[in-house]
Amino acid sequence: MRRHNLALLSLALFSLTATVAAQEYEWQNLENQHVRLQVSKKLAQVPMQIGAISPKEANVVAKFEPQNDGDYIWGRYGRFSWDLLVMEFAGSKAEPATPNTGENGKPMSKAEAEEAARKDAVARLRSRTFVDWVKDPRNSDTKRRYIVEGKENKGSSKKLGYTWWEYTESQAMHNGYGEQFEQVWYTSAAAYPLPDGREIGLVVSIPVKGDKPDQKWVQIVKRMLTSLEYVEPDPDADDTDAARDKFAVTEKQKESLKVLKDNIRNLDNWDYFTTPDFIITYSWSKPEQKKEMRKFARWTSEKLEDARTMFRDRYPPHDAMTTNYSIIRVCSNYDEFRKYGDTPYGVVGWFSPGSKELVIYYDKQHEMVNNEDQMLSIAYHEAWHQYSDQYWPGVDLHRWFDEGLAEYFGALRVKGKSEEYTPHRGRLAEFQPLLNSKAYVPTSEIVIWDKPTFYGANASAHYAQAWVMMDFLMRGKERLGSKFDDKWSQIVPTYGKVALETKSEKKAVEAAFAGVDMAAFEAAWIDWFKGGNIKRK
């Protein structure tokens, strides 16, 4: 971090050239770090020193220094270099482990072992966060005087937030006559937490005459340090078949992928990619919409991978489970969605047990859904049907069970390592008048209804009732404690277990409700709803 006095001239007054006020900037892209920032044209990027190991430099990924004589800063004792450092910190993101074997699992060669040792040494010197780095005593030869210490700037929907730092340090130097003097350096820094868990630190140190730098330089520095933008990696930058097909590894997965590729082969507005659990295919209505649709399809696939994790946690895979490579089809608009599925107006998502395909669409204008989260609820709902179809192969599950769980999972969101439950406002509003008019279906009847009856007249109300019942069964024990009958706790797991073992939904429902007082159970789940236990959004 320390700067060198380059051309020591005695008695030269600290000055700024007239061109500073007209300073220009240009965007610099750091592709490996997925960021870009504005850098003064007085600075140019220089190569990092190969093999250098020090706590100061271990996190530095890019350095910009003056490129012309007029770009240096002149001080009382001569001309000084200054620079912009870009630093990368792992933050909450795990760093890659140093390999302990060579290529193909063979023992390391001497060269490979030396390189691994070097990387390991650098990793030990590298700070985890910017705070760790700035507070590390090894990174300062003198005591720092902090002026601004980690002031938070929250940012906005379009601008990244960051913490701001300012501090001064002094450096013992010698002029051309061998006389020693103290040069004060003023450092400004901004540390940006990135959406992927990493942190980027931008640091600039400039020489000053006293304790404060000239405001003209302050503006230049601040503009650079506050300009950082996150450039979201394009997962489809490599759009070769190998890249898009990489998760299709088994023969069965490859066969499923071939079916999909054949399905869209002659369509110039459809593309696809694979994930561990899904084949995602998506369309665009205009060429310029392709990137936007790909981004939405990627976001949807990531969320549905989260949903699969939730399903597996509660219903772990078993030997009799089918292993379909599930297809997610994302249509570019509602008209295309309806044409593809030949669906009536009002349907906004569906799963086909025949084709094993889940179909949704991109409602950019919010014509049918209020926001992306509501569309995500629909996707989670249908994703549960896609999973349950594999989990209970050949079983025609009762709708109170399957639709009730689909509605329950549709209200769950994965938030890091935890889950957040947000009940459906529409379903809540839908069930209230049924309760007021006592028009709901008696519990003893709805739990044995077949599909035609459930999906018949007033089907939407049946969805709402199944969800309220399932919400009570899934969350009631935790809230009500001893007031929650132990027999109620066994209804859902018993139904699933017996359905799997016997392949009979009739035996499953009989076993699930064996010994259950249906009148008491009905009164309990109705009281659950009346008591406001289902939190409104």
The DSSP code sequence of 295-319 is HHHHHHHHHHHHHHHHHHHHS---T
For residues 114 and 41, the answer to whether their CB atoms sit within 8 Å is: no
Q: List the chain pLDDT tens, one digit each, 537 residues.
A: 333 333 332 222 233 333 333 358 999 999 889 999 999 999 999 877 665 567 788 899 999 999 888 888 876 667 788 999 999 999 876 555 555 555 555 677 776 676 666 667 667 788 999 999 999 888 776 778 899 999 999 988 789 999 999 999 887 776 656 667 778 889 999 999 999 899 999 999 998 876 678 888 899 999 999 999 999 877 666 677 888 999 999 999 999 999 999 999 989 999 999 999 999 999 999 999 999 999 999 999 999 999 999 999 999 999 999 888 999 999 999 999 999 998 889 889 999 988 889 999 998 878 887 777 788 889 999 999 999 999 999 999 999 999 999 999 998 887 777 788 887 777 778 888 888 899 999 999 999 999 999 999 888 899 999 999 999 999 999 989 999 999 999 999 999 999 999 999 999 999 999 999 999 999 999 999 998 888 643
User: Which residue type sits at 43?
Assistant: L
Evaluate whether residue 120 is within a structural domain.
no
* Same domain, yes or no: 262 and 293: yes
Task: Write the CA distances from 253 to 324, 354, 385, 392, integer angstroms.
Answer: 8, 17, 20, 20
What is the pairing mode between strands 145-153 and 83-89? unpaired
Evaluate whether residue 485 is within a structural domain.
yes
Q: Which of 197, 230, 263 is the last residue of a domain?
A: 230
Q: What is the C-alpha separation between 17 and 150, in angstroms, rounded?
A: 32
User: Which residue type sits at 537?
Assistant: K
Q: Please name which of 369, 359, 356 lies closest in space to residue 332, comparing C-alpha atoms.
A: 359
Q: Quick one: tokens of 186? A: 């003023």
* Same domain, yes or no: 476 and 519: yes
Q: Please name which of 472, 478, 474 lies closest in space to residue 520, comparing C-alpha atoms.
A: 472
Evaluate whether residue 412 is within a structural domain.
yes
* Same domain, yes or no: 188 and 43: yes
Evaluate whether residue 364 is within a structural domain.
yes
Strand partners, 169: 185
Evaluate whether residue 107 is within a structural domain.
no
* Same domain, yes or no: 444 and 358: no
Q: Which of 175, 199, 230 is the last residue of a domain?
A: 230
* Same domain, yes or no: 256 and 296: yes
* Same domain, yes or no: 306 and 248: yes
Q: Which of 338, 356, 391 is the last residue of a domain?
A: 391
Q: What is the dihedral of CA 495, 499, 505, 506, to 10 degrees?
A: -80
Evaluate whether residue 515 is within a structural domain.
yes
* Same domain, yes or no: 155 and 248: no
DSSP letter for each residue of 329-362: EEESSHHHHHHHHTPPTT---EEETTTTEEEEE-
Q: What is the C-alpha separation between 408 and 424, in angstroms, rounded?
A: 9
Q: What is the C-alpha separation between 419 and 310, in angstroms, rounded?
A: 9
For residues 297 and 275, the answer to whether their CB atoms sit within 8 Å is: no
Query: Against a cut of 0.85, is the pTM above it?
Result: no
Evaluate whether residue 488 is within a structural domain.
yes
* Same domain, yes or no: 213 and 271: no
* Same domain, yes or no: 176 and 77: yes
Evaluate whether residue 361 is within a structural domain.
yes
* Same domain, yes or no: 315 and 260: yes
- How many structural domains compose the chain? 3
CATH number for the domain that contains residue 171? 3.40.1000.10
* Same domain, yes or no: 208 and 249: no
List the beta strands (DSSP E) in 114-179.
145-153, 162-174
* Same domain, yes or no: 362 and 225: no
Q: What is the C-alpha separation between 54 and 72, in angstroms, rounded?
A: 26
- Residue range of the domain that includes 148: 5-90+126-230
